[in-house]
Amino acid sequence: MNIGFIGLGNMGAPMAANLAKAGHQTRGFDVAGTTAEGVAPAASIAEVAQGADVVITMLPNGAILRQVADELIPNMRDGALFIDCSTVDVESARYAAQAAENAAVMAVDAPVSGGIGGAAGGTLTFMAGGSDKAFETARPLFDIMGQKAVHCGDAGAGQAAKICNNMILGATMIATCEAFALADKLGLDRQKMFDVVSTSSGYSWSMNAYCPAPGVGPTSPSDNDYQPGFAAELMLKDLGLSQQAAEMVDADTPMGELARKLYAQFVENEDGKGKDFSAMLPRFAARGRDA
């Protein structure tokens, strides 16, 4: 395929490089001027669109997605495919999908899970929203960039799935960190804590696959001084999106809102910015009940 890629940041660059490595002619554009291995640079969004069978975007937020869609889609040919892999609000995903439909362009919103390592290794999970035809057209590319793609429903469904997943992740990571800090103060060894919880009813991805305690469980960012695999500020963004969505549909999500407030405090008023979202553990460990 002739593929265009817009947004060559920490996630987008390795994703585009994997497509080029698989033999697809790939052109890329980023406002910061960044490039990716094997990807031919384009001078503009319009140039990326010219002659492309597929254009993929990986962008920071919904406002930028809307701006890019307005410039990109009118330059795409009829029947081409637009895949947005950004994590944005559901309304912006549906705005881009409607713009594509109006221009006879297929569209899929396909946010990802798996982080920078998954992007580099081609092991991402895609949560996709869009028509059956658009999803099936995109599937071969998902197979190159990732290990799993789930068709979640119509336009916006991919974003809905990502937002709900990460609301669970944020809340369970906080609970896991709280529990380790409590265990410390009760005199319980962290390894013993892990051995019990990881095989009991407290089992979770936050505990078993991404343990926030250094030296316990599989290797995770906690073993690298909490250098981010998934930064706390990105978790804050996703929790904000979850609460924006909850307000839009009148859903009661008190745990999600409390998690958002705690990450906002951690990132904006403490030292959480630039650290992994699991760095909540040393935060709780250093605090007393009335802190």
- Residues with a known catalytic role: 162
Q: Which of 232, 257, 82 is nearest to 167 (CA)?
A: 257
Other beta carbons within 10 angstroms of residue 221's beta carbon come to 22
Instruction: Identify the residue whose tokens are 């705690």.
Output: 262
**119-126: long-range pairs with CB below 8 Å, 24+:** 119/10, 119/11, 119/12, 119/14, 119/15, 119/145, 120/14, 122/18, 122/146, 122/147, 123/147, 124/15, 125/149, 125/150, 126/85, 126/150, 126/158
In whole angstroms, give the CA distance from residue 82 to residue 267.
Answer: 33
